[in-house]
């Protein structure tokens, strides 16, 4: 709030000082949010790189990932957040249905 208006005033006078104040105000409002988004972006890139490295390692070793993992992921990605009705007429969320299916799979194996 001090440096930008002062620099603008030194270069362009009163109009530069006003422009510097405007720039400083925008920076104060925008930078915290952008910094947070930047942190989340780098976190996502790190997770992506880690998963990719694990998959490449498995591929080089000739190992395969369990197909069950992809069943759960595809179920989660296609499930909607809308409530579904079960055979008793009660509403059950799609997340609860996925959890019940996973529990049944564990009991079978």
Has residue 82 got a pLDDT over 80? no
The torsion of the CA quartet 8, 11, 14, 20, rounded to 10 degrees, works out to -10
The predicted-structure confidence for 6-33, as pLDDT tens digits, reads as follows 888 888 899 888 998 999 999 899 999 9
Q: Say if residue 4 is exposed, middle or buried (CB neighbours under 10 Å; 0-12, 13-18, 19+).
A: buried
Q: Are 84 and 97 in contact (CB under 8 A)?
A: yes
| pTM, rounded to two decimals | 0.42
User: What is the rounded average pLDDT of the residues 64-82?
Assistant: 58
Two tokens, residue 99: 């959890």
Distance CA 80, CA 109 (A): 28
Please report, for the chain, the start and end positions of each structural domain, with discontinuous segments joined by +.
Answer: 1-63, 66-109
The predicted-structure confidence for 86-97, as pLDDT tens digits, reads as follows 455 566 666 777
């Amino acid at each position: 709030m001090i440096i930008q208006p002062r620099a603008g005033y030194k270069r362009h006078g009163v109009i530069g000082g006003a422009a510097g104040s405007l720039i400083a105000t925008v920076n104060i409002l925008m930078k915290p949010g952008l910094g947070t988004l930047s942190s989340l972006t780098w976190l996502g890139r790190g997770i992506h790189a880690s998963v990719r490295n694990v998959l490449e390692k498995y591929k080089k070793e000739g190992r395969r990932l369990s197909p069950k993992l992809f069943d759960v992921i595809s179920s989660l990605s296609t499930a909607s957040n809308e409530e579904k009705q079960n055979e008793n007429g009660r509403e059950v969320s799609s997340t609860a249905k996925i959890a019940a299916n996973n529990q049944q799979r564990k009991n079978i194996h």
